[in-house]
Structure 1
Amino acid sequence: MEDDRTRFAELFRRHYGAVMRYAARRVGRERAPDLVSEAFLVAWRRLPDVPVTDPLPWLYATTRHLIGNEIRGRDRQARLTTRLGAVVETVTADHADVVVDQVQVRHALAQLSEADQEALRLAAWDGLDATAAATVMGCSRTAYKVRLFRARRRLAAALEPAPTRRPADAELSPLANEGGR
């Protein structure tokens, strides 16, 4: 029992910050501490299932499942609120969105599916390699790499500016281009 406590204390000490950042990026700083606490509670209860050599992907996957439960719960709550006829306004202020590039990237990211978003976040934000990210997403390494490749293509397409049209007065007839001949 003492070995379990020591192992868990070390697991918590080494990975709490990374798991907190992972959760905060997905659910916000207000909700993240509760989800991270739940994730480490699951880790304590299932300590024999937590990999000894690289536990971070397991912790991320556990946190991801808890976040999924959180989102589904929010969706159920929203449907219930709608049925009751109440209006719920959710305002989230994020000072980082002031930067135009970040706004554009977030907008483009929001246009992607949740699976594409998660594949990109695991690689770019969490810095996981393909093997660890595949563990988090519950797929093979090859499947994750394909998902990441496709997600990157979709993000690039979403970031491309819309084709611009010239105003009608700028479109000149062939005669006008030749000096009115």
Structure 2
Amino acid sequence: MDGSEDRFTELYERHHGDVWRYAARRVGGSDVGDVVAEVFLVAWRRLHEVPAESALPWLYGVARLVLANEARGRRRWRELTLRVAAEPNQSVAVDHADEVISQRDVAVAFDQVSEADREVLRLVAWERLTVAEAAVVLGCSRATFAMRLMRARRRLRTRLGVVGVEAGQAPQTAPSMSNGGR
């Protein structure tokens, strides 16, 4: 190679600890490693842009942008879970006053359904795809996707009810979710 690998290795060894501490002061837990990995991935891809005399401030700038992207992703995820849980079921009359659920409970319930269920729910709620479009994404028939969506919504509603009980709330009917006529 042209010395890029050696330059990156030296950059990494010299500044990894500093970037780790920078990220750790801003996020907690296991997210720190992901942020640091992303910072150094950007540094590798843009190694020719890293200033030799002030690499650490440049890395901090990248870390700041990575953290901003992470925060946006978390915010979007929370909005998605709230939107999925708030979708009204058009076949059942519901008293929305009885369905108020905390944002934390929705996030916990969403985390407790399988990744396959989360993906089905995301395609419809986040990506706003129709059942037919989402079926194409997953490579299945429209009917198969519709069944997966119905089951995923049912499992999320069930988890929402369980989470509420675990949080010390009275058992309640979890919000229903329809496919919005899709």
Question: What range is the shorter-chain TM-score in?
Answer: 0.3 to 0.5
- TM-score, reference length from structure 2: 0.47
- TM-score, reference length from structure 1: 0.47
Greater relative contact order, per chain length (Cα 8 Å cut-off, separation 6+): 2
